[in-house]
Amino acid sequence: MQKAGLLLGGCARVWKSVRMASSGVTRRNPLENKVALVTASTDGIGFAIARRLAQDGAHVVISSRKQQNVDKAVNILQGEGLSVTGTVCHVGKAEDRERLVAMAVKLHGGIDILVSNAAVNPFFGHLLDATEEVWDKVLNVNVKAAALLIKTVVPEMEKRGGGSVVIVSSIGAFCPFPGLGPYCVSKIALLGLSKNLAIELAPKNIRVNCLAPGLIRTNFSRALWKDKATEDSMKESMHIRRLGEPEECAGIVAFMCSEDASYITGETVVVGGGTPSRL
């Protein structure tokens, strides 16, 4: 079992060299010795981002609500030879957020990178039919928890002399999906959160940027691709006529967290296959 893990780890390192060689880039491990927290990272986009940050040299602490999902994801990534640990963190729970930050500091001595990726969408319908409970849940988990987690992480980044935050928004912030009103409003709020924090945190050498994925094939978006007719109608709006894969969101986040992006803050990158998003 350990042998298999070592073998897989070797493969991951070789694959990374091949990837760099084929792109003509000789730099290795752009995130070496950085410590990264990624929320909602046991599946989908968060998992792909966690894997990529670790492949680029970071020590990554992954998290989500369920222990069994954390264990499974940690096992997979450690089996690839990556420096990954994990803990349960429901981002809506203050004690979980604090434990996540404390664990990273205890294990690795500080925090350099935060990817705030968790979101919920408990509602489908006309925006004005959303109940107060729906609004509370969507805004609490998607917006308030992100702001409060960043607040907890910032003092740790300050101790390191700076850091990078990436907030996962959505293309729905630019071009609302019918039926997903409260969710899209929450994702617009995240653009505002990143713009405001970019100003406030620049003097602390902390950059804050956003990722806005288009339609990416994950469990979260299953309703939009579960049958061929729905998937085909979604593809109509994309220049690249296919859904995105979680891995296609990961490299850009690694870039935004790296020194190559040292002069980029308050920006949003859309990864949407050419789905119309803005001018």
Ligand X SMILES: NC(=O)c1ccc[n+]([C@@H]2O[C@H](COP(=O)([O-])OP(=O)(O)OC[C@H]3O[C@@H](n4cnc5c(N)ncnc54)[C@H](OP(=O)(O)O)[C@@H]3O)[C@@H](O)[C@H]2O)c1
Cβ distance to ligand X smaller for residue 30 or 248:
248
Known catalytic residue: 263?
no
Using CB under 6 A, pick the residue from 55, 194, 218, 275 that binds ligand X. Answer: 218
101 lines the binding site for ligand X (CB under 6 A): no
Binding mask 33-52 for ligand X (x = CB under 6 A): ------xx-xxxxx------
216 lines the binding site for ligand X (CB under 6 A): yes
Question: Of the residues 47, 123, 177, 183, which is catalytic?
Answer: 183
Q: Distance (Å, rounded) from C-alpha 127 to C-alpha 181? A: 5
The token duo for 231 is: 């998937």
Q: Phi first, then psi: give them for residue 223, nearest 5 degrees.
A: -60, -25
Measured from the CB of residue 27, what is the shortest distance to ligand X in angstroms? Answer: 28
275 lines the binding site for ligand X (CB under 6 A): no
Q: Which stretch binds ligand X (CB under 6 A): 18-26, 65-73, 230-238, 251-259?
A: 65-73
213 lines the binding site for ligand X (CB under 6 A): yes
Which residue has its beta carbon closest to ligand X? 44
Q: Distance (Å, rounded) from C-alpha 225 to C-alpha 217? A: 8
Measured from the CB of residue 269, what is the shortest distance to ligand X in angstroms? Answer: 12
Sorted by sequence, the CB contacts under 8 Å of residue 91 that are 6+ apart come out as 39, 40, 97, 116, 118, 141, 145, 146, 149
Measured from the CB of residue 202, what is the shortest distance to ligand X in angstroms? Answer: 24
219 lines the binding site for ligand X (CB under 6 A): yes
Cβ distance to ligand X smaller for residue 19 or 66:
66
135-162 CB burial, b ≥16 within 10 A, e <16: eebbeebbbbbbebbbebbbebbeeeee
Q: Which stretch binds ligand X (CB under 6 A): 62-70, 131-139, 148-156, 253-261?
A: 62-70
Binding mask 158-197 for ligand X (x = CB under 6 A): ----------x-x---------------------------
Measured from the CB of residue 215, what is the shortest distance to ligand X in angstroms? Answer: 5
Measured from the CB of residue 213, what is the shortest distance to ligand X in angstroms? Answer: 4
271 lines the binding site for ligand X (CB under 6 A): no
Measured from the CB of residue 20, what is the shortest distance to ligand X in angstroms? Answer: 26
Point out the residues that are catalytic. Answer: 183
Which residues would be at the binding site for ligand X (CB under 6 A)?
39-40, 42-46, 64-66, 69, 89-92, 117-120, 141, 168, 170, 213, 215-216, 218-221
